[in-house]
Chain A
Amino acid sequence: MTTAAVPLSAKSTRSAAGGRPDLGRIGRLFLPLALYLVFTVVPFYWMLLFALRPAGSTSLLPWPLTFEHFDTVWNGMGFRVYFQNSVWIALLTLLFVTFFALMGGYALARFRFRGQKLFLLALLCTQFVPGAMMLIPLFNIFQAFDLINSRWSLIIAETTFQLPLAMILMSGFVKNVPVELEESAMVDGCGRIRAFLAVVLPLLRPGIVAVGSFAFIGSWNNFLFALMFLNDPELQTVPVGLQTTIGENTVDFGALAAGGVVAAVPVVLVFAFVQKYLVQGMSAGAVKG
Chain B
Amino acid sequence: MAVRRALTPYALITPTVLLLACFLVFPVGSVVYYALQHHVVNEPYDDAFVGLDNFRRMLGDEQFWHSLAFSAKWVCAEVALQLLLGLVLALIVNETFLGRAMARAMVFSPWAVSGVLTTSIWMLLYNPATGVFHYLAQLGVGDAATSVLGDPDTVFSAAVVAELWRGVPFFAILILADLQSVPKELYEAASMDGAGRLRSFRHVTLPHLRDAIVLATLLRSVWEFNNVDLLYTLTNGGPAGATTSLPLYVAQLARKSYDFGYGSALTTAAFVILLFCSVLYLRLSKFGTEK
- What residues on A are CB-neighbors of B225 within 8 Å? 130
B113 CB contact (under 8 Å) in A5, A58, A129, A221: A221
Closest Cβ of chain A to B248, distance in Å, is 8
Task: Flag B42-81 by CB within 8 Å of A: 1 or 0 each.
Answer: 0000000000000000000000000000000000000000
Closest Cβ of chain A to B206, distance in Å, is 13
Contact of A37 with B177 in the complex, beta carbons under 8 Å:
no
CB contact list, B245-291 vs A, under 8 A: 247, 250-251, 254, 260, 263-264, 267, 270-271, 274-275, 278
Chain A residue nearest to B135 (CB atoms) is A60
Instruction: Answer yes or no: A141 CB below 8 A from chain B CBs.
Output: yes
- Please report the C-alpha to C-alpha distance between residue A30 and residue B107 in the assembled complex, in whole angstroms: 13
8 chain-A/chain-B pairs, Cβ below 8 angstroms: A128-B222, A128-B278, A160-B23, A167-B16, A223-B233, A267-B114, A278-B173, A282-B173
Given contacts A40-B165, A275-B104, A282-B174, contact A4 B120 (CB under 8 A): no
Instruction: Answer yes or no: A176 CB below 8 A from chain B CBs.
Output: no
Chain B, interface residues (CB within 8 Å), range: 35 or more
CB contact list, B80-99 vs A, under 8 A: 85, 88-89, 92-97
- Please report the C-alpha to C-alpha distance between residue A40 and residue B228 in the assembled complex, in whole angstroms: 22
Contact of A43 with B219 in the complex, beta carbons under 8 Å:
no
Chain A, interface residues (CB within 8 Å), range: 35 or more
- Please report the C-alpha to C-alpha distance between residue A251 and residue B190 in the assembled complex, in whole angstroms: 58
Contact of B12 with A103 in the complex, beta carbons under 8 Å:
yes
Instruction: Answer yes or no: A272 CB below 8 A from chain B CBs.
Output: yes
- What residues on A are CB-neighbors of B263 within 8 Å? 136
- What residues on A are CB-neighbors of B10 within 8 Å? 113
- What residues on B are CB-neighbors of A130 within 8 Å? 225-226, 247, 267, 270-271, 274
CB contact list, A151-182 vs B, under 8 A: 156-157, 159-161, 163-164, 167
Instruction: Answer yes or no: A133 CB below 8 A from chain B CBs.
Output: yes
Please provide the 6 A-B residue pairs with the shortest distance between their CB atoms, ordered closest to farther: A221-B114, A137-B27, A283-B177, A282-B177, A107-B12, A271-B112
Instruction: Answer yes or no: B148 CB below 8 A from chain A CBs.
Output: no
CB contact list, A116-146 vs B, under 8 A: 116, 119, 122, 126-138, 140-141
Contact of A6 with B95 in the complex, beta carbons under 8 Å:
yes
- What residues on B are CB-neighbors of A134 within 8 Å? 24, 27-28, 31
Instruction: Answer yes or no: A256 CB below 8 A from chain B CBs.
Output: yes
Instruction: Answer yes or no: A100 CB below 8 A from chain B CBs.
Output: yes
- Please report the C-alpha to C-alpha distance between residue A283 and residue B209 in the assembled complex, in whole angstroms: 11
- A contacts with B: majority SS: helix
Instruction: Answer yes or no: A32 CB below 8 A from chain B CBs.
Output: yes
- What residues on B are CB-neighbors of A264 within 8 Å? 113, 117
- Please report the C-alpha to C-alpha distance between residue A133 and residue B249 in the assembled complex, in whole angstroms: 10
- What residues on A are CB-neighbors of B177 within 8 Å? 279-283, 287
Instruction: Answer yes or no: B176 CB below 8 A from chain A CBs.
Output: yes
- Please report the C-alpha to C-alpha distance between residue A156 and residue B19 in the assembled complex, in whole angstroms: 8
Closest Cβ of chain A to B27, distance in Å, is 4
Task: Flag A257-289 by CB within 8 Å of B: 1 or 0 each.
Answer: 101100110011011100110111111001101
Contact of A253 with B124 in the complex, beta carbons under 8 Å:
yes
- Please report the C-alpha to C-alpha distance between residue A251 and residue B222 in the assembled complex, in whole angstroms: 33
Instruction: Answer yes or no: B22 CB below 8 A from chain A CBs.
Output: yes
- Please report the C-alpha to C-alpha distance between residue A124 and residue B71 in the assembled complex, in whole angstroms: 22
- What residues on B are CB-neighbors of A6 within 8 Å? 94-95, 179, 182, 187
- What residues on B are CB-neighbors of A3 within 8 Å? 96
Contact of A8 with B132 in the complex, beta carbons under 8 Å:
no
A138 CB contact (under 8 Å) in B23, B108, B110, B254: B23
Contact of A8 with B95 in the complex, beta carbons under 8 Å:
yes
- What residues on B are CB-neighbors of A260 within 8 Å? 117, 120-121
B116 CB contact (under 8 Å) in A8, A136, A243: A243
Given contacts A5-B184, A41-B106, contact A257 B173 (CB under 8 A): no
